[in-house]
Amino acid sequence: MESLLTDAQKTRYQEVKKFVATEVEPFVEQWDRDQTHPESIVSLLGDTGYLGSTLPTDYAGKGWDFVTFGLLNEAFGRGSSALTGLITVQAMVSMTLLKWGTNEQRKKWLPLLAKGKTIGAFALTESGGGSALQSLTTEFRRKNEGDGFVLNGEKKWISNGQIAGLFLVFGKSEQGFVACILPRETSGLEIEPIKEMLGFRAAGLAQLTFRDVAVPASSIVGKPGFALSHVAMVGLQYGRISTACSAAGLLRGCFEESVSYAAERRVGDRNVGNFGMIRSLIARMGADLEAAHLLSYAACRAEDEHLSEAFSKALIAKYYNSQAAVRAASDAVQIQGASGCHSSSSAARYYRDSKLMEILEGTTQIHEELLGKIFIDQAGKPLA
Amino acid sequence: MSTEVEGRIKEKVKSFILSSINVVDFSEEDHLFESGIVNSLFAVQLMTFIEKTFRIEVGMDDLDIENFKSIKATADFVMRKNGQLAA
């Protein structure tokens, strides 16, 4: 894949990989046990600009292209899925506000998000159905014409919810679906941490409850009626690609550690890597890694070039990479045997984290539903 | 001149839709969403295509289904944004 990158992209990729090796990997198991990220790493991410990588420099961002954003997520995915989740959601909120926020919303919030002074949360999912977006029950009710809305309802499984200073909230109204931003200190907003997740344990998930929350008109994002079809879609596209690249990073972690283990670990007078069954597992992992990198690159490149197939490329990358990550993590544990089953093993964490990648930002089954329709709709046409 | 530009825009938009969706044919006045030719998931793809192809930015004030409901409405919208058609 690296042969496809520009010199600038290669340089940034190496910089981020170095950052992850020194600032993330030595601490990730502790964060996983603590089920939280320390303020110091969140602050460091803000200082490096990684939380605003795709925002324009006018808003204190780095103005990176999508391919570089993908490389950032891949490099972080190698070190920590949960921390990559923070970067993912920050981009989902930031880029949605960049596209559909008012000038006032952009000026106030984007520099804070870019520098990590404020962490964002994308409050879309509800307990009644994560992927069934049309069935949202959170409700925006008109107070008086022109005076905004009153918000009531609940959101669940909201990443970054425990530490977020700004929530991008989606719900229904008489005028169709609506989106708004709510600062953490908003009266009537209750935040309850969700702990003991299988994976992504440090991702700070929370349940949100809105009780007669006053939402001024100035907090509405986009136009009422377009919150799902246009506003959420911007964030979800970033979410899918970020997760796809993060899964590729996790897969690389499984591959690199499995290869090292197979080369060094001795059973009797032979290295583990001399056994054909271990080579088979590593062969599949290596082929999956190459495929995951190429699919990630194709999805990011399609976004950079605003190609019509950008949507389907992102779906394909997320669909394939998340499943390949699950396969690789399972095989990495298998190769390491009992050592891979212990909580001190990164393979064990990869195994737990990888499963969530098949669920967040749209389950594997939802991706099959969408991709199946797209492929059938394009019957007789060459696959882009 | 204006008619010629309008024709080119319609052709490009229709060609994009036909390349993405399995539909035999439709007229420039057909309602794309109500008729089921495209679904809401396609809305952002169509918007992105329009932004890139015609070098315009679709902003919050442009979020109106009337602007994208048909090939003709989309062409009118693009021409208005480019100052080639009175609002």
Mean pLDDT on A353-357: 97
| Sign of the torsion formed by the C-alpha atoms of B41, B47, B48 and B50 | positive
CA-CA distance, A244 to A295, in Å (whole number)? 9
Yes or no, beta carbons of B63 and A381 under 8 Å apart: no
* pLDDT greater than 80 at residue B1: no
**Tokens (6 digits) for A352:** 């737990």
CA-CA distance, A369 to B5, in Å (whole number)? 38
Yes or no, beta carbons of B49 and A308 under 8 Å apart: yes
Given a contact cutoff of 8 angstroms between Cβ atoms, the answer to whether A8 and A64 are in contact is no
CA B77 from chain centre, in angstroms, equals: 8
Please give the single-letter amino acid code of residue B17: I
| B36 lies within 8 A of chain A by CB | no
Placement of tokens 């195994």 in the chain = A351
* pLDDT greater than 50 at residue B16: yes
Given a contact cutoff of 8 angstroms between Cβ atoms, the answer to whether A181 and A97 are in contact is yes
Query: For residue range A114-125, what is the model confidence (pLDDT) as tens digits?
Result: 999 999 999 999
Exposed/middle/buried for residue A70 (C-beta within 10 Å: 0-12, 13-18, 19+): buried
Yes or no, beta carbons of A376 and B45 under 8 Å apart: no
**Tokens (6 digits) for A306:** 């605003």
How many residues are present in chain A? 384
**Whole-number mean pLDDT of chain A?**
94
Placement of tokens 């931003």 in the chain = A181
Q: How far is A170 from chain B (nearest CA, A)?
A: 16
Placement of tokens 């930002």 in the chain = A361
Yes or no, beta carbons of A223 and B43 under 8 Å apart: no
Mean pLDDT on A370-378: 86
Nearest CB partner across the interface for A311, out of B21, B45, B63: B45
* pLDDT greater than 70 at residue A267: yes
Q: What is the ipTM score, two decimals?
A: 0.78
CA dihedral A300, A303, A308, A314 (to 10 degrees): 40
Given a contact cutoff of 8 angstroms between Cβ atoms, the answer to whether A75 and A9 are in contact is no
Mean pLDDT on A344-359: 95
Query: For residue range A275-314, what is the model confidence (pLDDT) as tens digits?
Result: 889 999 999 999 999 999 999 999 999 999 888 788 899 9
Q: Which of A88-97, A123-132, A168-177, B49-58 has the lowest mean pLDDT?
A: A123-132
Contacts of B60 in chain A (CB under 8 A): 100, 102, 222-223
Q: Does residue A172 sit in helix, strand or coil?
A: strand
CA-CA distance, A150 to A384, in Å (whole number)? 45
**Which of B41, B60, B64, B69 should one mutate to test binding to chain A, selecting the residue with the greatest count of A CBs within 10 A?**
B60
Predicted model pTM: 0.92
Query: For residue range A7-53, what is the model confidence (pLDDT) as tens digits?
Result: 999 999 999 999 999 999 999 999 999 999 999 999 999 999 999 99
Under the banding of pLDDT at 50, 70 and 90, the label for residue A373 is confident
Q: List all residues 6 or more positions away from A222 whose beta carbon is below 8 Å from its beta carbon.
A: A100, A179, A230, A231, B60, B63
Question: What residue of B is the nearest CA neighbor of A307?
Answer: B49
Query: For residue range B22-49, what is the model confidence (pLDDT) as tens digits?
Result: 777 788 888 887 777 777 677 888 888 8
| A185 lies within 8 A of chain B by CB | no
Question: What residue of A is the nearest CA neighbor of B57?
Answer: A99
Given a contact cutoff of 8 angstroms between Cβ atoms, the answer to whether A295 and A247 are in contact is no
CB pairs under 8 A between A and B: 48
CA-CA distance, A35 to B46, in Å (whole number)? 41
Q: How far is B36 from chain A (nearest CA, A)?
A: 13
Taking 3-state DSSP, the helix, strand and coil percentages for chain B, each rounded to the nearest 5, stand at 60, 0, 40
Q: Does residue A4 sit in helix, strand or coil?
A: helix
The total of other beta-carbon atoms located within 10 Å of residue A294's CB is 15
CA-CA distance, A173 to A368, in Å (whole number)? 30
Contacts of A308 in chain B (CB under 8 A): 16, 19-20, 45, 48-49
* pLDDT greater than 60 at residue A231: yes
Placement of tokens 């919810």 in the chain = A161
* pLDDT greater than 50 at residue B87: no
Integer Rg of chain A from CA: 21
CA-CA distance, B75 to B10, in Å (whole number)? 6
Placement of tokens 């059973």 in the chain = A267
Given a contact cutoff of 8 angstroms between Cβ atoms, the answer to whether A42 and A211 are in contact is no
